[in-house]
Amino acid sequence: MTRDFTFEIYEELLQAGLDAGYEHLTVREYLLANELPDQFIIHRHDVDRKPENSLAMARLEAKYDVPSTYYFRTIDKTFKPEMIREIEELGHEIGYHYEDMDRGDGNVAKAHESFRDHLEQLREHATIDTVCMHGNPLTPHDNRDMWDGIRGFEEYDLLGEAYLSMDFVDVTYFSDTGRTWEDGALKIKDHTVGESEKRFHADTTRELINLVESKRFQRGCLLSHPNRWADNFPEYLAERFKDMSINLGKSGINLVS
């Protein structure tokens, strides 16, 4: 049986979406659409670390002509301009994975100063129309709070934010945070804001594939972190144990919160 969180089973997920007749959109395309397709999937990727995995995933998606959106942090270990440019050239969208409330220690004015600087840094290498917050479970801040009635996306010539600008009543959201597609306590900050409706659930990628094959949802947004997905057994073991350790830490946070 295929191991979970491998490039092999991710390829099966892509093929399932194509076979089921889903159209595939980027976040940019979703926000620009005057009329959305009846049935679509948005593949969204948060590049938290290991950008080389993002490039490998982007190449796999390009093989199937599936466009997706990659949100890059601007820290040294992920900000790799050559990879960013290649991913965009493959037909994918690049966005800014911002963490500026964390950088400003909760100060909104400082967060906006930081946001502007890092957005422009990324725009030197790619077209940036959408952004998405990075959720660090170890900080007390929610990076989305920098938009709380202070400034809008128009100031930065942006279409919107992946959590705040999508209709998650209409679009079913799945995330691999915590090494599971199931919602729950392991997704400390990775959750939608406002009203949403989740009628279908999946724990493993195989279960998610089954939902896609049976068209249990019409419109979906699937967030995956490329660093979690492996193309060889040693990497698979390393990422599995790393996620287990992180999940133990999150359980401790939940106990004291």
What CA–CA distance (Å, rounded) separates 16 from 208?
A: 10
| Average pLDDT over every residue of 133-157 | 90
What CA–CA distance (Å, rounded) separates 8 from 203?
A: 18
- C-alpha distances in angstroms, 181 versus 22, 82, 144? 19, 31, 22
pLDDT at residue 252 greater than cutoff 70: no
**CB of 70 closer than 8 Å to CB of 45:** yes
Name the least confident of 5-14, 30-39, 80-89, 240-249.
240-249
Q: What is the structure's pLDDT at 137?
A: 87
Torsion angle of C-alpha atoms 70, 177, 198, 15, degrees rounded to 10: 60
| Average pLDDT over every residue of 149-173 | 92
| Average pLDDT over every residue of 165-188 | 92
More confident position, 257 or 166: 166
What CA–CA distance (Å, rounded) separates 132 from 96?
A: 6
Chain segment 189-209, per-residue pLDDT in tens: 888 877 666 888 999 999 999
Q: What is the structure's pLDDT at 256?
A: 47
What CA–CA distance (Å, rounded) separates 191 from 189?
A: 6
**Helix/strand/coil for 18:** helix
Percentage of residues of the chain with pLDDT beyond 70: 94
Buried b (16+ CB within 10 A) or exposed e, 92-114: bbbbbbbbbbbbbeeebeebbeb
Average pLDDT of the chain is: 93
What CA–CA distance (Å, rounded) separates 78 from 50?
A: 7
More confident position, 200 or 174: 174
Q: Right CATH number for 7-256 from 3.30.70, 3.20.20, 3.40.50, 1.10.3470?
A: 3.20.20
